Chains A and B, each alone.
Chain A
Amino acid sequence: MSDATLSHSAEHAAEPHGHEQHHPFLQHHFEDMGQQHEASTLGMWFFVAQEILFFGGLFAAYFVYREMYHEAWKAGSHHQNWQIGAANTIVLIGSSLTMALAVWGAQGAKRKFTTLMLVLTLILGSIFVGVKGYEYAEHIHEGLFPGSHFTYTEATPALTRGVQMFMTFYFTMTGLHALHMVIGAGLLLYFIRRSWRGDFGPEYYSPIEIMGLYWHFVDIVWIFLFPLLYLV
C-alpha cells in the first residue's frame, strides 16, 4: 500500500496540475469527490461517537443518582413545566426536519431553498434556546438553582437535598445541551453564508450533511432528556 501511495505522489509531483481539472472544493489528498464525501461523513461519525459517550457518562450518573434519590427525582421532575418541555421538543424536531431538508436541497443544488431551510433551522434552534432561558429564569426565581441560591424547601431536609441533586443534573445536562445548540447556531450562520454564495451542489454537499449529523445528534440528546427530566 505504501508503495502505491509513493508512486502516486511521485506522479503527482511530476505533472503540475491546474485546479481547473477538478472540483474547486476537492482536497488534494482525495481521489475524487465521492471519496472525500465518505471520509468527511465517517470522520464526523467518529466525532458523534465520542459525543455519545460524553453525554452517555452524564446519563449513567443520572440513573445512579436516580436510584439513590428516587423520591426526590419524582418531586424534582414535578417542578418542570412539561407543557413547555413538550412544545420545545416539537420546535427542536421541527428544526431537525428543516435541517434534513437543507441537506436535500444542497444535494439538488437548490441554492435558495437550502439557504432558507438553514435560516429556518437557525430560527427554530434560537426559539428553543430562548425558551430554555425562560425556564432557567423561572427556576432561579423559584430558588431552584443549586448551591447557596437554593432556597426551595420540601417536606423533609433529605428530600430538599435530593431535589437539589436533581436540579444539579437538570442544569448540567440541559446546560451542556444548550451549549451544543449555541455552537450549532454559530456553525449554521457560517453555512448560511456559504450556501447563499452557491458553494454547494450534488458533487459537494458534505459540509451541510455533516452540519446535519451534528444537529440531529443534539436533537437525539434532547429526545432522551425530555422524558427523563420532565415526565418521570
Chain B
Amino acid sequence: MPQQQGHQPDHETYTGHAAPPHQAPLTAYFVVFFALMALTVLTVWVSRIDLGAMNTGVALAIAVVKALVVILWFMHVIHSPRLTWIVVICSFLWLAVLFVLTFSDYLTRHWNIY
C-alpha cells in the first residue's frame, strides 16, 4: 500500500497495519473446494454404512473438519491478525458453554442416578 500523503499517525494508539493484502494463490481455493467435495462424498458414503450410534459422531466429525477448512482458508482466518483469532476461538468457546450446560442437563436425565 503506498504511503499516505500528509496526515501521518503521530500518536501511540495505532501502530500501523498498512501491509498489502494477503492474496492466496488461486489454486489454493480450488484445492479447498475439491477437499470439501471429497468430504461431502465421504459423509454421504459413511451414512450408508450402519455404524449404530457412531453414525452421528462420524457425520459431525466430518462436518467439523469441513467447517474448519472453510473458516481457515475461505474466510482467511489463517492469515488474519491475532485479534481475529481470539474472536473466532471465543465464539466457539461460548458455543461450547451453550452445548455443555444444556446437554449436561437434558441428555443425562434418563440416567436416573439421583
Q: Which residues of A contact B (CB under 8 A)?
A: 1, 4-5, 7-8, 11-12, 17, 21-22, 31-35, 37-38, 41-42, 45-46, 48-49, 52-53, 56-57, 59-60, 63-64, 67, 82, 86, 89-90, 93-94, 96-97, 99-101, 103-104, 107-108, 202-203, 205, 209, 212-213, 216-217, 219-220, 223-224, 226-228, 231-232
Contact = CB atoms under 8 A, between A and B. Distances in A.
A211 B21 CA distance: 16
A63 B55 CA distance: 14
A101 B70 contact: no
B6 A17 contact: yes
B90 interface: yes
Interface residues of B, number: 61
Contacts of A82: 44, 47
A227 B60 contact: yes
13 contacts: A32-B1, A32-B17, A34-B16, A37-B21, A53-B98, A56-B95, A59-B99, A63-B107, A104-B29, A212-B74, A223-B63, A223-B66, A231-B55
B16 A32 contact: yes
A56 B43 CA distance: 21
Contacts of A96: 33, 36, 70, 74
B87 A42 contact: yes
A45 B102 contact: no
Contacts of A101: 26, 29
A57 to B, nearest CB: 7
B78 interface: no
Contacts of B112: none
Contacts of B107: 63-64, 67
The 4 closest A-B pairs by CB, nearest first: A49-B91, A4-B11, A227-B59, A34-B17
B114 interface: no
Contacts of A228: 56, 59-60
Contact of A94 (B13, B33, B43): B33
Interface string B30-50: 101100110010011001000
Given A4-B12, A31-B9, A220-B70, A67 B91 contact: no
A33 B14 CA distance: 13
A86 B40 contact: yes
A7 B102 contact: no
A226 B43 CA distance: 10
Nearest to B65: A223
Contact of B37 (A8, A11, A93): A93
Contacts of A63: 99, 103, 107
Given A21-B6, A33-B1, A60-B99, A224 B67 contact: yes
